[in-house]
Amino acid sequence: MATDFKSIPIIDISPLVAKCDDPKRVQDPDVLEVVGQLDQACREAGFFYVKGHGIPDSLIKDVKNVTRKFFDLPYEEKLKIKLSAAAGYRGYQRIGENITKGIPDMHEAIDCYREVTPGMYGALGKIIEGVNQWPHDPPYFKVLMEEYISFCTDLSRKIMRGIALALGGSADEFEGERAGDAFWVLRVIGYPGVSNTNGQNAPENDIGCGAHTDYGLMTLVNQDDGITALQVRNLSGEWISAPPIPGTFVCNIGDMLKIWSNGMYDSTLHRVINTSPKYRACVAYFYEPNFDAAVEPLDICKEKTGGIKKFGKAVYGEHLASKLETNFV
């Protein structure tokens, strides 16, 4: 459960990244220090920054630059990869087409998912079957994003090993049938500035993305430098800003980790409001359980929370499908 935190902690995870696959990692004091910081951040805020993550700064910047170049294109160009149910909910959506709790969000986006071949998950995966609709302009968009996804997947696995240790489990607690074949989601997002709605009239709703929690295990947020727009709600209902810090990702935990931890770690409400006159680019990578994973509280977490199971079983793919069917105009 989130507390009345007033700021979001910064964690240097370089010891965990360096020793992630070392069988003696739990004897390393620097790794254990990181594990303790992860535990505290997940308990108190559900959000934290990570530095020392090992993903090249040049790649992080290139991803945001190519995002801006795509969103600068005329609408008719962007609509060539328009999102639809027939495309497995992959592709481009206009400003106002994404819905959070019944209210249109003031952002445009490209939604991408790990590719799902027909029959891969049976009826469970039918809704998400398909390949990603990558734009042809800029021409290097697909290659760059796929390289970025590979880096983010590897980093997320390492952070989740630290979180597994923080919960008191083994480092591979979230591998195997839980997240050893992790699903992923990538949202490439553009938030118009207050004086720039891409040629449209100024919207009545100024919220770039309404208050929500994330669906899966953990999110890596690559924010535009110099624009503070992400806000996280603490226990008292105050909105705490998460300003961009160069060289870091903002990380937050999702609904599935809340269940696996039996509520020890909460998926915290957050929203985006861009009050800057500048257009804001953001790339969010979501590290998820296996698509068909059955998620229920871990025994180690039940023991730490009074022996009572606080949540029933959820299947990640069903949870995602229920969100997709209500998320778009």
222/262 Cα distance (integer angstroms): 28
Q: Is the preceding omega at residue 138 within 30 degrees of 0, hence cis? A: yes
292/284 Cα distance (integer angstroms): 22
Question: Which two tokens mark 293?
Answer: 């994973």
- For residue 75, how many other CB atoms are within 10 A of its CB? 13
220 inside domain: yes
Residues 7-22: tens digit of each pLDDT: 999 999 999 999 988 8
Residues 213-237: tens digit of each pLDDT: 999 999 999 999 999 999 999 999 9
Please, which residues have CB within 8 angstroms of residue 321's CB and are 6 or more apart in sequence? 124, 127, 128
What is the model's pLDDT at position 202? 47
Please, which residues have CB within 8 angstroms of residue 247's CB and are 6 or more apart in sequence? 51, 57
What is the model's pLDDT at position 195? 65
3 inside domain: no
Query: Quick one: 255 exposed, middle or buried, by C-beta within 10 A (0-12, 13-18, 19+)?
Result: buried
Q: How many domains does the chain have?
A: 1
What is the model's pLDDT at position 130? 94
Contact in structure between 279 and 192 (CB atoms under 8 Å):
yes
Residues 159-215: tens digit of each pLDDT: 999 999 999 999 999 999 999 999 999 999 999 998 654 445 444 567 899 999 999
Question: Which two tokens mark 173?
Answer: 């607690």
Contact in structure between 230 and 276 (CB atoms under 8 Å):
no
177 inside domain: yes
In whole angstroms, how far apart are CA 161 and each of 22, 169, 179?
11, 9, 11
pLDDT at 95 over 70: yes
207 inside domain: yes
132/142 Cα distance (integer angstroms): 9
Query: Quick one: 121 exposed, middle or buried, by C-beta within 10 A (0-12, 13-18, 19+)?
Result: middle
Q: What average pLDDT is seen over the chain?
A: 93
What size, in residues, is the chain? 329
**Chain-centre distance for alpha carbon 141:** 20
Residues 303-325: tens digit of each pLDDT: 999 999 999 999 999 999 988 88
128/212 Cα distance (integer angstroms): 21
- For residue 299, how many other CB atoms are within 10 A of its CB? 12
In whole angstroms, how far apart are CA 299 and each of 79, 143, 207?
47, 41, 40
Report the CATH number that the domain containing residue 266 is assigned in CATH. 2.60.120.330
254 inside domain: yes
2 inside domain: no
What is the model's pLDDT at position 101? 82
Domain span at 180: 10-327
What is the model's pLDDT at position 199? 46
What is the model's pLDDT at position 284? 98
1 inside domain: no
4 inside domain: no
Helix (H) or strand (E) holding 212: strand 209-212
Strand bridging mode 10-12 / 209-212: unpaired
